[in-house]
Amino acid sequence: MKRLQRQKKVVENKRRVSGPVWARCMRGMLVLGLLLTVLLGRVSAQEKPGARRPRPTAPPPPVEKVQEPVDNYRYDAQGRRDPLEPLVKESLPDVLRPKPRLPERPLGPLERFDLSALKLVGIVWGELGRRALIKAPDGKSYFATAETYMGKYSGKVIAIENDHLVIEEQYLNIEDKLVPKTLTIPLRRKDKREG
């Protein structure tokens, strides 16, 4: 009986040390993996660094055949839109520039000055119609009637009212079309400061 007990103890001790079967297999695989890693590391360390294999070169791309141009082709744009013109047109800003002066008539004395520099001092009306008294920057005063040209940009007096002068200037927009611009010069009343 003692012998039997001793044998049981030995078997139990072996089981404790060795463990279940799957654990023993795992240990064996772990040891085998470590051995392979060490061996492969040593083998790769023995290779010469300059003895690398050359990279394989890619074959050259196939040459595409160039199509020869057709000699008899003519493009007819009639009835088609311009391919270079955008499909969505932006509205261009109204940038106005002065209409160039034509040398068909001599310039009057009021055309030497900008309209902002001219001052309407008085308006006279009588049998011959209305006349505006305008003071120029040179200190001289001039009379202007309807159809009188004044200002650097060929402004024309279109109306003389009781308290202001209406002038129309012609400008060119981006599309080189004439655009009229109406300006008014108010009657300058005597201020208390001017005495």
Q: How does pLDDT run across 57-98, given as a tens digit for each residue?
A: 888 888 888 887 777 877 788 888 887 877 666 554 567 777
pLDDT at 190: 64
pLDDT at 170: 85
Run of H or E residues at 39: helix 21-46
Residue 17 has pLDDT above 60, yes or no: no
Contact at 8 Å (CB) between 149 and 155?
Answer: yes
Residue 18 has pLDDT above 60, yes or no: no
**Strand, coil or helix: what is 42?**
helix
Contact at 8 Å (CB) between 117 and 186?
Answer: no
- β-strand partners of 49: none
Structure tokens at 38: 């060490």
Cα 185 from Cα 110, distance rounded (Å): 14
Give the rounded percent of residues in the chain with a pLDDT score beyond 70. 78
pLDDT at 192: 47
Q: How does pLDDT run across 98-155, given as a tens digit for each residue?
A: 777 666 778 888 988 888 889 999 999 888 889 999 999 999 999 999 999 998 888 8
